[in-house]
Amino acid sequence: MSMKTLRIYLDTSVIGGCCDTEFAEASCRLIEMVKRGEVILLISALLAEELENAPPDVQAILDDLPRQSLEFVSESAESRRLRDHYLAAAVVGPAHATDAHHVALATVSRADLIVSWNFKHIVHFDKIRGFNAVNLRDGYAPIAIYSPLEVV
């Protein structure tokens, strides 16, 4: 029996983590999994926008990934509505609407999990409970949220 390939939504912190000594080992191992076709990476316009201001070595990481291991997900009225529901439920504050939108995009796209180094606004026990409470209330499946260390 073959297992379904995991579809992982990455936020920008993991891509940037490849070029940060504290986070490089696990971030790069995850990127290598993508290169080997072991996982499918969900890429959003939100991620691409955030990477526009990143150093060239960080931008190059995404450019070097095989296209067959990438799935592009688009912002939509549905993802913006779910983001707004997270904000209305005060899962995160308005200043962190982008973080909420990453979670909404992953949820609406039915990602198997979100991987992030953002321990304050995404990979945090209370935040995960909050995001999933809204997901369940709104008819979505719970979303698994992990750091790269827990995935590689």
Angular region, 43: left φ>0, alpha ψ -120 to 50, beta rest: beta
Domains of the chain with bracketed CATH: 6-151 (3.40.50.1010)
Residue 4 reports pLDDT greater than 90: no
Who's near 95: CB < 8 A, 6+ residues apart?
none
Run of H or E including 51: helix 45-51
SS (H, E, C) 54-110: CCHHHHHHHHCCCHHHEEEECCCHHHHHHHHHHHHCCCCCHHHHHHHHHHHHHHHCC
- pTM score, two decimals? 0.95
Give the per-residue pLDDT at 17: 96
pLDDT in tens, 18-57: 999 999 999 999 999 999 999 999 999 999 999 999 999 9
**55-76 pLDDT per residue, tens:** 999 999 999 999 999 999 999 9
